[in-house]
Amino acid sequence: MSQLRSTLDFLVYDWLQGEGLTARTRYADHSRETFDAVLDTCERIAREKYAPFNRTVDTEEPRFDGEKVILPQCTYDARRAYAEAGMLAAGKDAEWGGMQLPYLVEAAANSFFACASVSMGSNLLTSANANLLLVHGTPLQKQVFAVNELEGNWAGTMALSEPQAGSSLSDISTRALPDGDGFESDPLGARYRLKGNKMWISAGDHELTENIVHLVLAKIPGPDGKLIPGVKGISLFIVPKKLVDAQGQLTGERNDVALAGLNHKLGWRGTTNTLLNFGEGKYPVRGDGGGGLDGQGAGAIGYLVGQPHEGLKCMFHMMNEARIGIGMAATMLGLAGYYASLDYARNRPQGRPVGEAGKDATRPQVRIIEHTDVKRMLLAQKAYGEGALALNLYCARLVDDGRTGTPEVAARAKLLLEVLTPICKSWPSEFCLEANSLAIQIHGGYGYTRDFPVEQYWRDNRLNMIHEGTHGIQAADLLGRKVRMQDGAGLQLLAATINATIERALQVPQLAGYANQLAQALQDVGAATKAAWATANPQEALANAVPYMQAFGHTVLAWMWLDVALVVLARDAALSAPAHAGQMGAARYFFHYELPRIGAWLQVVRQRDMTCAELPEDAF
């Protein structure tokens, strides 16, 4: 983890000028020392409570004994240490017991846990859940639900998907009916009864906390009793696993939320993943201490958050945070594999160098890091992992600027973040998965045994291209919405920001060639964007949205590396010569080996290639 720490220090302080955030009112009580103290604490907890148990949570996957979900003890210990460190409330207002830490520092601190054992904690979900409530909840909802989450007493989930709907949220069929006449006057919020099934709910049931706060999307039927089709009919509800009173005390009664099954996954096994039944009658709610029950209203009790029919808007607030979190998780798995394979390559003797020197079999074998192809696989991982980390931290810094910058800075940051979020989520999930495959490859046969950690990283990482919006959904969001919104203002802003880096790099002899290469790439992406939409036909424009996103992502990552390289060269190289050489090597690798790949991706976008779209179904 010491290598991760020095990479974080460079990116957070040297590159993103994180210490400068302390000049802002919100962060005025902080200093480099308090930031470092948080990083130190998280690094220590991750090393002591997470890393040693990463294989344990894989082999002892969650199981259901019919009544309770069984998790290994280490998960309890890790969660307690995390909560006690105050990390659940790290970024929250002091008013709610938070540290008011910049999101940049919070994200950097959380990266240690993802690197040590990505699936062990579902803390980010709890934190994001509370965050949503702090923005959209009533004062009492904040006090009862959010604060109990932030203090570590309760955990949180987000319950969107349903078995028949998957990513298609307009097709959810969980319904919410007003709970009797006085339903609107419940102090915890307008009270409804929910019935429906929710699939893929992470941390949907467990005994880690005394209660679980589900944030559930459901539809309130119209006057005709029918559900409103489409996403407009969706509302958001707090559905606690156990019922609570207005003081936040458990009433002792269980809400009608039942675990219908655990999903048994390929990876990411430390986190329970569930199918939940709401209001199926397994735990009938007989009284709720509130308005009159009419017997017809059976179902799980839920409290409306925000306005009816505006649930998706509230939820998106949480989903965007979750998407950045997934990008970071994918990144840290990539780096975990890099560190593991680097360690292996430095210690494993095998084979001899290519050429004359290697022909003498009486000479001892060399360590495999001396083989160029192993170096190539290491450098690719470094370029992917550290590049993705730079992007994720850059986006985290944008979150801070959006919250605390001057109005102009904030508006710019929010717009840029809108455009970058699909990349921030998708790029690490694709290329840090590739990095994990390279980590396996470096280990040879040992890499696919369970005696080494890399096969688990690879399995864990495979989820990230799927959950919180698949690759296809991110790509459609990017090309269908983000680069077009406000007449392309987001794309223009991104281009201007990248161009600023290019302008600076053109002044540096070592980087001028890369600056020109990036300028060309940016122009190619812009031209492909225009060409895709030239016929204004979404079916043609979006037919190659994923290749578009891949090319877009590689261009963004090349920008990251060029920008990082500028700062690396500006430092006193003598101070950290090896790290300096490594970062410049990774930047070089990215421009030599990776950026040229965009040509093939953009070609089909530019030509609005309909090869796939037009193939009839029976031809497959």
- Which of these ranges, 8-16, 137-145, 229-237, 403-411, lies near a copy of itself under the rule CB under 8 A? 229-237
Residue with the two structure tokens 């690197």:
115
Window 172-201: residues binding a copy of itself (CB under 8 A): 199-200
Q: How far is the CB of 449 from a copy of itself (least distance, A)?
A: 5
Site for a copy of itself contains 546 (CB under 8 A):
yes
Q: How far is the CB of 169 from a copy of itself (least distance, A)?
A: 10
Q: How far is the CB of 582 from a copy of itself (least distance, A)?
A: 4
Out of 206, 471, 482, 606, the only residue in the binding site for a copy of itself (CB under 8 A) is: 471
Site for a copy of itself contains 8 (CB under 8 A):
no
Phi, psi values for residue 593, rounded to 5°: -105, -30
Transcribe 157-168 into DSSP letters.
EEE---TTTTT-
| Token pair in block for residue 342 | 């680097």
Cβ neighbors of 53 (< 8 A, separation 6 or more) are 72, 74, 75, 78, 117, 120
Out of 29, 93, 451, 503, the only residue in the binding site for a copy of itself (CB under 8 A) is: 451
Out of 143, 497, 499, 603, the only residue in the binding site for a copy of itself (CB under 8 A) is: 603
CA dist., res. 151 & res. 149, Å (int) = 5
Residue with the two structure tokens 């698949």:
470
Q: How far is the CB of 577 from a copy of itself (least distance, A)?
A: 8
**569 in Cβ contact with 509 (< 8 Å):** no
Site for a copy of itself contains 203 (CB under 8 A):
no
Out of 110, 111, 119, 161, the only residue in the binding site for a copy of itself (CB under 8 A) is: 161
- Which of these ranges, 15-23, 178-186, 287-295, 342-350, lies near a copy of itself under the rule CB under 8 A? 342-350
Site for a copy of itself contains 52 (CB under 8 A):
no
Site for a copy of itself contains 224 (CB under 8 A):
no
Residue with the two structure tokens 């090349």:
558
Site for a copy of itself contains 609 (CB under 8 A):
yes
* Per-residue contact string for residues 63-102; x = within reach of a copy of itself by CB under 8 A: ----------------------------------------
| H or E element, residue 198 | strand 191-202
Residue closer to a copy of itself (CB basis): 398 or 442: 442
Out of 123, 304, 462, 520, the only residue in the binding site for a copy of itself (CB under 8 A) is: 462
CA dist., res. 334 & res. 168, Å (int) = 29
Out of 413, 465, 502, 556, the only residue in the binding site for a copy of itself (CB under 8 A) is: 465
Out of 126, 277, 437, 555, the only residue in the binding site for a copy of itself (CB under 8 A) is: 437
Q: How far is the CB of 583 from a copy of itself (least distance, A)?
A: 8
**443 in Cβ contact with 341 (< 8 Å):** yes
Residue closer to a copy of itself (CB basis): 188 or 379: 379
Window 378-417: residues binding a copy of itself (CB under 8 A): 378-379, 382
Window 255-284: residues binding a copy of itself (CB under 8 A): 263-267
Residue closer to a copy of itself (CB basis): 22 or 56: 56
Which position among 43, 430, 468, 594 bears the catalytic label? Answer: 468
CA dist., res. 413 & res. 103, Å (int) = 13
| Token pair in block for residue 388 | 């993705």
- Which of these ranges, 36-44, 161-169, 393-401, 525-533, lies near a copy of itself under the rule CB under 8 A? 161-169
Three-state secondary-structure class, residue 513: helix
Cβ neighbors of 148 (< 8 A, separation 6 or more) are 154, 211, 213, 248
Is residue 84 annotated as a catalytic residue, yes or no? no
Q: At what angle do helices 407-443 and 454-461 cross, to 10 degrees?
A: 140
Out of 85, 140, 369, 567, the only residue in the binding site for a copy of itself (CB under 8 A) is: 369
Residue closer to a copy of itself (CB basis): 293 or 369: 369
Residue closer to a copy of itself (CB basis): 246 or 354: 354
Q: How far is the CB of 481 from a copy of itself (least distance, A)?
A: 12
Q: How far is the CB of 473 from a copy of itself (least distance, A)?
A: 9
Transcribe 464-495 into DSSP letters.
GGTTTS-HHHHHHHIIIIITTHHHHHHHHHHH
Kindly give the pairing relationship between strand 154-159 and strand 211-219: parallel
Q: How far is the CB of 103 from a copy of itself (least distance, A)?
A: 28
CA end-to-end span of the chain, whole Å?
47
Query: Distance from CA of residue 67 to its chain's centroid?
Result: 31
Transcribe 164-183 into DSSP letters.
TTTT-GGG---EEEE-SGGG
Cα–Cα nearest to 67, from 244, 252, 258 = 258
What are the beta bridge partners of residue 158? 215
| Token pair in block for residue 494 | 């991104």
Q: How far is the CB of 598 from a copy of itself (least distance, A)?
A: 8
**311 in Cβ contact with 246 (< 8 Å):** no
Site for a copy of itself contains 372 (CB under 8 A):
yes
Site for a copy of itself contains 510 (CB under 8 A):
no
Cβ neighbors of 191 (< 8 A, separation 6 or more) are 178, 179, 180, 183, 184, 288, 290, 291, 301, 302, 303, 304
Q: Which residues are catalytic?
A: 468
